[in-house]
Amino acid sequence: MAAQSIPASELWNAIRAAGVQDVVLVPDTHQRTLLELLMADNEIRTVHCSTEDEALAVSAGLIIGGRRPLMNIQHAGLYASVNNLRGLGLDGQFPIVIMIGLLGRDPELDPNDDGSSMVRLCQPLLETLGVPWHLLDGPEDLSCVETAFDEAASRGGPVALLVGAPTS
């Protein structure tokens, strides 16, 4: 089945329902409509970072401070931040939930079959690192947002949410 665009308002509602207090982000054009909603929201604080390494460190700091952040990046940022993800998320056991946009994915294909190595290697990289992931391929997958936070807390480590199609 093809990936479907998730309306930004529905994803925003799922994020709010999961108790997210802060969205730590490196802007992602794949999720542009969601980011526009979040930046206009007075309840959820957005923290803009220059790099994914910085976003991981800020997310960890917010967790130490008792907050519930969601980190929001693009798949290229996952590759750029592997060492910090390993150090903070895995070795440091920070329950960071990372929402990753699969920019440029062919929505007709499973991510593992995509022609772009950036998309195709995302899930295998997460699996190699031992980071559980959930694919958000349409509105029916929104329950995975709260599931990811529960899973991150129970395992004491990061969990990824892969956004399969651009938000609408």
Instruction: Give residue limits of the domains in the chain.
Output: 8-163
The pLDDT score that the predictor gives to residue 29 is 85
* Calpha distance 166→74 (Å, rounded): 11
21: left (phi over 0), alpha (psi -120 to 50) or beta: alpha
Spatial CB neighbours of 87, under 8 Å, sequence gap ≥ 6: none
* Calpha distance 150→137 (Å, rounded): 20
32, 29, 62: which is closest to 47 by C-alpha?
62
In CATH, the number for domain 8-163 is 3.40.50.970
* Calpha distance 16→145 (Å, rounded): 10
135, 133, 138: which is closest to 159 by C-alpha?
133
32, 34, 7, 37: which is closest to 139 by C-alpha?
7
Tokens at residue 108, please? 């007709």
The pLDDT score that the predictor gives to residue 43 is 92
Tens-binned pLDDT, residue by residue, of the chain (168 aa):
799 999 999 999 999 999 999 999 998 888 999 999 999 989 999 999 999 999 999 999 999 999 999 999 999 999 999 999 999 999 999 999 999 999 999 999 999 999 999 999 999 999 999 999 999 999 999 999 999 999 999 999 999 999 999 999
* Calpha distance 60→31 (Å, rounded): 22
* Calpha distance 146→97 (Å, rounded): 10
- What's this model's pTM, rounded to 2 decimal places? 0.97
